[in-house]
């Protein structure tokens, strides 16, 4: 259990453990250390409902922080507070050094927001949407025009520039929404579930755009329900559930903690499925789950925690002379992440308050 202890000690529940807190204490005093977003004990109550129940979060400049959680975990509430659309019940948050409550006007100048539901004006053509935002951000007319052209070009929307956004496809609309968020060259960009409801191909398009933005040095706070999306885009991850942070850390570390990857191995000859499974079982790899056989699809599933284990698996396959038709790695789903981090499944979307505080989280 050495691995498990290492990570559960370090990244344990309820936010940050003592070791990390020391580091955080230093960054708070040192303004130049490059924290783009800093959230301390953020609370938002709606009557009895605790949408946020004491959230701590730190996003370093130029990095992508993924906030992973199920529906109703408080992700959107967090983003709305950080964009000054909501005021917190308690706690503090600063973005690029500006306090969300005391300096909302300054703060709005340095952020870009792409909401869960594409917030472009559907009646306006793409170009007009961008020009409008440019003018609202105090760009001179000429510059606003140039910026609109430039961003349409960049997001491959030039051909659709004069068409009302209502005629755009889902992916085009998200791209336009992203472009609109980038008009003011924000220092911090919020992406609130940027690909929810998109088909896989379109999702990849959006991911590519986000990666390019990150390449330009934009700090991104990304909320998502998909482990895969977090893995694609984020370098660090905060897992939230019912308004609380249940884990945070580097994405590789968290992934290792939740059981890394699952290898899906298909022998070319379905008859060799059993022998393959036995050979792999004999390796004695102890991930979070054990090796299982998916007879329906003719594949063996092996959870691995490290590259060494993956190599060992491949070695065993070769040693037994088994020809493979495919070998793929799969990421744990959000459900599995939650199961392994908290011991309970991701809570279902709920409007009611969690009546009982998730004490099992603390126990985990």
Partner 1 sequence: MSAATATTATTAATATAAGDLRADGRIPLRAHVRHTSALVRRNLLWIRQDPESMFDAVLFPIVFTLLFVYVFGGSIGQSLGGGQEAYVQYIVPGLMAMMGMNMAQGVGTGFNQDFNTGVMDRFRSLPIGRGSVLFAKISVEMMRMLIATAILMVVGVLVGFDITDWPGLFAAVGLSAVFGSALMWVFLTLGVVMKNAQSVQAMGFLVLMPLQFGSSIFAPPQSMPGWLQNFTEYNPLSSLADAARGLMVGGPVAQDLWMTLAWSVGITAVMAPVAIHKFRTKT
Say whether residue 191 binds partner 1 (CB under 8 A): no
Say whether residue 221 binds partner 1 (CB under 8 A): no
**Is 180 in contact with 124 (CB distance < 8 Å)?**
no
Say whether residue 108 binds partner 1 (CB under 8 A): yes
CA distance linking residue 12 with residue 317, whole number of Å: 36
Q: Which is nearer to partner 1, 91 or 332 (CB)?
A: 91
Say whether residue 85 binds partner 1 (CB under 8 A): yes
CA distance linking residue 191 with residue 284, whole number of Å: 42
**Is 236 in contact with 64 (CB distance < 8 Å)?**
yes
Q: Which is nearer to partner 1, 28 or 266 (CB)?
A: 28
Say whether residue 27 binds partner 1 (CB under 8 A): no
Contacts of partner 1 in 257-276 (CB under 8 A)? none
Say whether residue 149 binds partner 1 (CB under 8 A): no
Stretch that binds partner 1, among 130-138, 193-201, 272-280, 340-348 (CB under 8 A): 130-138
Q: Which x/- pattern, by CB under 8 A, does the window 42-61 give for partner 1?
A: ----x-------------xx
Number of shown-chain residues binding partner 1 (CB under 8 A):
50
**Is 317 in contact with 300 (CB distance < 8 Å)?**
no
329 — phi, psi (to 5°)? Answer: -105, 140
Say whether residue 109 binds partner 1 (CB under 8 A): yes
Specify burial of residue 271 (Cβ count, 10 A radius: 0-12, 13-18, 19+): exposed
Measured from the CB of residue 305, what is the shortest distance to partner 1 in angstroms? 26
Say whether residue 105 binds partner 1 (CB under 8 A): yes
Measured from the CB of residue 61, what is the shortest distance to partner 1 in angstroms? 4
Say whether residue 219 binds partner 1 (CB under 8 A): yes
CA distance linking residue 304 with residue 308, whole number of Å: 9
Measured from the CB of residue 332, what is the shortest distance to partner 1 in angstroms? 26
Residues in contact with partner 1 by CB under 8 A are 34, 36, 46, 60-63, 80, 83-86, 96, 103-106, 108-111, 113, 115, 117-125, 128, 132-133, 135-139, 164, 180, 184-187, 216-219
């Amino acid at each position: 259990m050495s691995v498990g202890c290492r990570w559960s000690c370090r990244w344990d529940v309820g936010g940050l453990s003592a070791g990390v807190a020391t580091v955080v204490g230093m960054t708070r005093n040192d303004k130049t250390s490059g924290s783009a977003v800093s959230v301390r004990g953020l609370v938002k109550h709606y009557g009895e409902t605790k949408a946020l129940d004491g959230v701590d979060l730190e996003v370093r400049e130029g990095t992508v922080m993924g906030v992973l959680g199920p529906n109703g975990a408080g992700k959107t509430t967090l983003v709305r507070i950080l964009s000054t659309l909501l005021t917190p019940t308690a706690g503090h948050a600063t973005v690029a050094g500006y306090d969300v409550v005391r300096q909302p006007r300054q703060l709005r100048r340095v952020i870009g927001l792409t909401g869960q539901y594409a917030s472009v004006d559907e009646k306006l053509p793409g170009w007009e949407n961008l020009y409008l935002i440019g003018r609202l951000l105090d760009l001179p007319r000429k510059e606003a025009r140039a910026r609109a052209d430039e961003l349409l070009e960049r997001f491959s929307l030039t051909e659709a520039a004069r068409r009302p956004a209502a005629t755009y496809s889902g992916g085009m609309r998200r791209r336009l929404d992203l472009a609109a968020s980038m008009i003011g060259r924000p220092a911090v960009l919020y992406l609130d579930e940027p690909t929810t409801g998109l088909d896989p191909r379109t999702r990849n398009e959006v991911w590519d755009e986000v990666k390019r933005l990150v390449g330009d040095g934009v700090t991104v706070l990304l909320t998502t329900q998909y482990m895969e999306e977090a893995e694609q885009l984020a370098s660090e991850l905060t897992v939230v559930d019912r308004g609380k942070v249940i884990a945070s850390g580097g994405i590789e570390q968290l992934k290792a903690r939740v059981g890394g990857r699952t290898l899906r191995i298909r022998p070319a000859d379905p008859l060799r499925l059993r022998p393959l499974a036995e050979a792999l079982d004999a390796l004695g790899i102890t991930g979070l789950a054990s090796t299982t056989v998916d007879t329906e699809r003719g594949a063996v599933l092996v959870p691995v925690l490290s590259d060494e284990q993956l190599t060992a698996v491949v070695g065993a396959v070769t040693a037994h002379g088994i020809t493979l038709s495919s070998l793929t790695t799969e990421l744990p789903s959000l459900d599995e992440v939650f199961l392994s981090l908290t011991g309970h499944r991701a809570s279902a979307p709920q409007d009611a308050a969690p009546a009982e505080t998730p004490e099992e989280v603390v126990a985990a």
